[in-house]
Structure 1
Amino acid sequence: MPLSAVQAATALPDSINVPDGHKVALETVGVGEITYECRDKADMPGQTEWVFVGPKAQLRDRSGKAVGSYFGPPATWQAKDGSKVTGTQLAVAPSSPGNLPYQLVKANPAEGQGAMTGVTYIQRVALKGGVAPSSACGVAQKGQREQVDYQADYIFWAAQ
C-alpha cells in the first residue's frame, strides 16, 4: 500500500519538503524508464560516464489507472486532459542505494487547463531503480544508450 502524501512528506529530508501554504493537488505513480548515454566526462578528456538523457513514464493514479505521462527533456508532466507543466529542480536528497534521489521541482505555470493547472511544486518520492547502468562505459561504448526501469511517486502541490 503506497504511503499517503502526508505520510511520505513527514519522512522526507527537509531539503525536498514543499514550503508551507501548499496542499496536495494530485498524487501519481510514474512507471517507466530512464535513458542514459555513454559520453565523455565534462572537462576530463579520455574519461567516460553514463549521462542522464531523459525519462519516459506513464503516470498512474493510486488505483493504477493511467492519468498522464512524464517525459523529457525538458522534464514534462502531462495529464490526459492535455494540461502540462515543466519545472526547475530545486533540490535532491539521497534515497536508498540503487534508487534515484528524492527530488523537489518548482513548477512553471501550466500549459492548458486541467489537472496540472495551479501546480506549484512536484516531489519525487518512493523511488525504485532508475540509477545509471552498471554495464561498461568506456571509449568502445561511447554513444551507446541504455534504458533503466524505474518507478517513483510524483506528488503535485498547489498553493492553498
Structure 2
Amino acid sequence: MLRLALTLTATALLAACAMQPMATMRSYDQAMLPAAVQVPAGNRVAMETVGVGSITYECRVKANAASEYEWFFVGPDARLMDRSGKQIGRYYGPPATWENTDGSKLTATQVAVSPAAAGSIPLQLVKANPAMGNGAMTGVTYIQRVSTQGGVAPAMACGGNNLGARQVVQYQADYIFYKAM
C-alpha cells in the first residue's frame, strides 16, 4: 500500500512538472564583470554553457626575441555542457570554434580580455562571426568566457632543451552566448 502511494505521488509530481511552462532564461549579471568584457546593450543571453576540458601549450621561440622562449597557446579542446550537466557541444581550435550538437557552429574575433583569479585564464569577450549551419549557434552575436578556473601556461621552464615540447593543462570556464534583441 505504501509503495502504491509513493508511486502515485511521484507520478503526480512528474505530471505537474511536465505541465509547467519552461522557465525563461535569466539575464546573466553583467554588473559583476569588468567593463571591458561586458556585452554591449541590445543583446540578450541565449545560452549558458560550462566548458570543461584542456588547453595545449607548446614551447616556442618568443616572437621578436630569438634568444627567449615562451609557452605558446596552441588551442583548446573542451566539452560544452548545459547547466544540468548534459553535453550540448564542443569548443576547439584553432581557429577557436564553438560547435553545438545540432551541427551549427561559429568562430569569433576577440574584442577584449580582463584578468581572472591567479592561476586562471583571463575573462574574455568575443564577437561572433556568422554561424555555419542552422541551429543554436545561428544568430549568436557575442560570447563571454567567465568564471574561469585553471588553463594558464605550464609552470615548468620553457627553453632550448624542450623547444617544441607540448603540455596540456586542464581548465573550466562558463561560456555565455548572446543574441541581438
Give the TM interval when normalised to the shorter protein: over 0.9
Contact 1:5–1:155 (Cα < 8 Å) also in 2: no
Greater per-residue helix proportion: 2
Structure number with the bigger relative contact order (C-alpha 8 A, sep ≥ 6) is 1
- Distance in 2, matches of 1:25 and 1:36, equals 31
> Unpaired runs of 5+ in structure 1?
none
1:6 aligns with 2:6: no
Greater per-residue strand proportion: 1
TM-score between the two structures when normalised by the length of structure 1: 0.96
- Distance in 2, matches of 1:114 and 1:31, equals 22
Q: How do residues 101-116 of structure 1 correspond to structure 2 at under 5 angstroms?
A: 101-116=122-137
| SS in structure 1 at match of 2:28 | helix
Q: How do residues 121-132 of structure 1 correspond to structure 2 at under 5 angstroms?
A: 121-132=142-153
- Distance in 2, matches of 1:49 and 1:107, equals 29
Structure 1 ranges of 4+ moved more than 3 A? none
- Distance in 1, matches of 2:180 and 2:150, equals 31
- Distance in 2, matches of 1:140 and 1:92, equals 32
Contact 1:127–1:153 (Cα < 8 Å) also in 2: yes
The number of residues matched between the two structures is: 156
Q: How do residues 1-160 of structure 1 correspond to structure 2 at under 5 angstroms?
A: 6-7=28-29, 9-160=30-181
> Unpaired runs of 5+ in structure 2?
1-25
TM-score between the two structures when normalised by the length of structure 2: 0.85
Larger displacement relative to structure 2 (147-156 or 40-49)? 40-49
Contact 1:5–1:27 (Cα < 8 Å) also in 2: no
Kindly state the Cα deviation for residue 85 of structure 1 after the two structures are TM-superposed. Answer: 0.8
Kindly state the Cα deviation for residue 6 of structure 1 after the two structures are TM-superposed. Answer: 2.1
Letter aligned with residue 148 of structure 2 = L
Letter aligned with residue 90 of structure 1 = V
RMSD: 0.9
Deviation per residue, 1:19-70 (Å, 9 max, x gap)? 0010011100000000000000011112111000000000000010000000
Report percent identity of matched pairs: 60
- What's 2:18 paired with? none
